[in-house]
Structure 1
């Protein structure tokens, strides 16, 4: 699990095709500190398992399906990537709960700079629109962001990027047309699932109470009750 707070802006060193997978090597000094083989690191919001460790980076295996369904397939040596290690029991939850399971990709459709921040509009696939609400959370390329506005007719959402986000993540250089990984708030999915498969009307939602039994004219009650 992650929080969507990018720890480091890394860079792709190499991508090597190996059968039905690609071996991705990324340079990142901060995220390899204290990291062991088998640990998880989010690369642009996609959870990857560390297969090899170097002094200044790590290597992970990426399945071809992941490359097709996420923006990782567009990476090339030198590409900058957002990196975040998985949370620990003592990690501050500075963003929101992020699984590192990319739902779909979107595309930057507009950027509007202002004096102190920048508004970025991103296309939102129709299948994800119901999980996104204004002032709610969404993950864009591994960055936890607050939805500033929704345009259902246009199929887009807008986020406001502060100078810190612009400087410390890939979103600062994401030009119009850039493909980005999207992950919606998993809590919304759970709520939808519960509502779709909840109890039918009239079905008890708590265990039935055992009827009071009567023996030789004396009513018995559960122990400790009178």
Structure 2
């Protein structure tokens, strides 16, 4: 489990995408902080996607990316040199600074507008109705691994405001209109729907 509080900006140093011989991908990311206490088999969220460490080259880690993750996330659009948000799995005795994040991406969104404020930016993302139905104003959502509060929502869009720290410490500060992002909705909303559906 994660919290959506990015610990470090990492850099993609190698990426083997699917080809005729394989349907999965292999991703290598530099991130000295997140690998400082990492071991094989540990979980690290890369842009909000929970990945398992398979090797630890100096100052970074390698992870396999399964076809399911490639089809549901924006990881396939990464390239060598791209910056990514990194977070280690939450410790049981740590503060939950963001919200409960599983690292299981529900879908991909697209930045459709960006409005600078005095010290913040207002962003609007578009997503599918299947994802947007779980998004609530003043609720939580994870955008590329960053825990954010929703400022507004429609049938296919939602807005967030980014404070200076988020602009500086995550990849969201450099997003441009048209860029894809990984989205994970609040897991509580999905469980509530499931329970109410079974009850009906």
TM range (shorter): over 0.9
Q: Which residue of structure 2 aligns with residue 41 of structure 1? A: 44
1:1-226 to 2 correspondence within 5 Å? Answer: 1-17=1-17, 19-152=22-155, 155-198=156-199
Match of 1:207 in 2: none
Q: Distance in 2 between matches of 1:14 and 1:125?
A: 31
In the alignment, structure 2 segments of 5+ residues that lack a partner are none
CA RMSD of aligned residues (A): 1.1
Q: In structure 2, what is the Cα distance between the partners aligned to 1:54 and 1:91?
A: 27
- Identify if the C-alpha distance between structure 1 residues 17 and 71 changes in structure 2 by more than 3 Å, giving closer, same or farther: closer
Match in the other structure for 1:224: none
**For structure 1, which runs of at least 5 residues remain unmatched after alignment?**
201-226
Larger Rg: 1
Q: 1:183 deviation in Å?
A: 0.4
Alignment deviations for residues 73-101 of structure 1 (CA, whole Å, 9 cap, x no partner): 00000010000000111121000000000
- Number of residue pairs aligned between Structure 1 and Structure 2: 197
Which protein, 1 or 2, shows the higher relative CO under an 8 Å CA cutoff with sep ≥ 6? 2
| Structure-1-length-normalised TM-score | 0.85
Work out the CA distance in 2 between the residues paired with 1:168 and 1:17.
28
Misfit runs of 4+, over 4 Å: none
